[in-house]
Chains A and B, each alone.
Chain A
């Protein structure tokens, strides 16, 4: 074989999709409520993939007609792409309709400003994501029309505190060891960074971390991470930026 150009390639990737939690099997009520929600942000929901969460429904012992709900969702502009939390029979029905079954993964409750309510371990960047095969061309493009607001913090972030921003996160004071700062966008720390910093937590590989003095316990961009042990001695204690390049985490001094 002389032709070495690849025919296809498998890659693993994670992506985020809205989850529809149903509390009733009343199709009329569901459709009405969906229309109301869509009217609030038409662009956000247009052609959005959707996973149907059945746990609440099953708690109430309510049955669901899959063919009907799938049709209803398509009619309102969604693409049902799977179910989760279903029982054996529901999983069987879903398979018959070519709806994949997602196992229930708790992603925690990351939007905590200030003191963490629960001492949860962080969303550890998965080394190998569970089998999620995504053809790049059908990657969903459900991007909210309004850019998320950035969060500005002027007080020191102490050990044990967690800060989350759905946009950029800008911190003017120090981040202590044992603190955790997370942003869906970029992270700027105009002081010493000693805690954990996770940028692009929803998979934004273009996100970056900037800090005046790198002494971090962990830095992560879109799930790719390095712990302080792996940090280069040369960049330690220096002003740096952290970014992803060809799936490699680059830590570079800001001259």
Chain B
């Protein structure tokens, strides 16, 4: 009897934790959770603090000089007497190089992501993706050096030729595709197969001729362009697009992978070709992720400083005509970097605070971008889940 009870005691002892141990467990749990919470909230607080301190030094500028000069005029002479703080051309320059880099990086990045996720075999993808991601590990000053020392002289000497080749490389496959599709579309309603084939051939030849003429004409126009200065918006856009590429490729590839086998195989089972599956099933399903990738990439381009400071030419004017990418521009980030040294708190207050006003503007722009992308992702998810 006594033995049995002792045995029972032993058995329950194995599961009952002593009060002291329980206490220790509770304390460690509280401390652990508290630490994690503190670290997490610290990160959030840092963001708020950055906003606060940038705004604190930015607001005096608007108090001194008002909004109109900063946002609507283009004279940027912070060091002159009297000083001018017209930042419109600089804001425009920032938007211009960001747009330029997005125009290059987004189609390239999304196409590369599609290729990686749906076209290349797994064994190649395993190696290709890390190589692309390695682009992100190159320090921006190395990109800047390349832009200034290699790309700028190259654009001056062979800019037109390079653009002609780029145009041919990009346009030729696209046009071939378009010609085939249009010729098919236009002849698809003809009942007689023999006549259809003849007409198809005729149309293809006709479109082909127009296409070749277009290729040649635009190519020769491009090749005749003489670029006056290589440190211009085009140079920076190209380099920034390379810097944004790894983000765009990597994040969109993840989004495409997340679509999953079931949707792909469902599409194939319904008789869709691979092109149809990619265009009509996978891309729409992954569009929110791709959009997030694009916005992340654009933010990288907008916030980059070293490359633009070294290679954009830094002249605070709006190019003529306004879409002329062959002229030097100046961006917000480069202006902050370049004018910071002289602009001490103790000398010239508006000159110091205007840089914070620019910083605040950049913060607000990226904040809005983030909000928008967040919004789109949420709405896309709702549509996909059928609500």
A, B assembled together: no
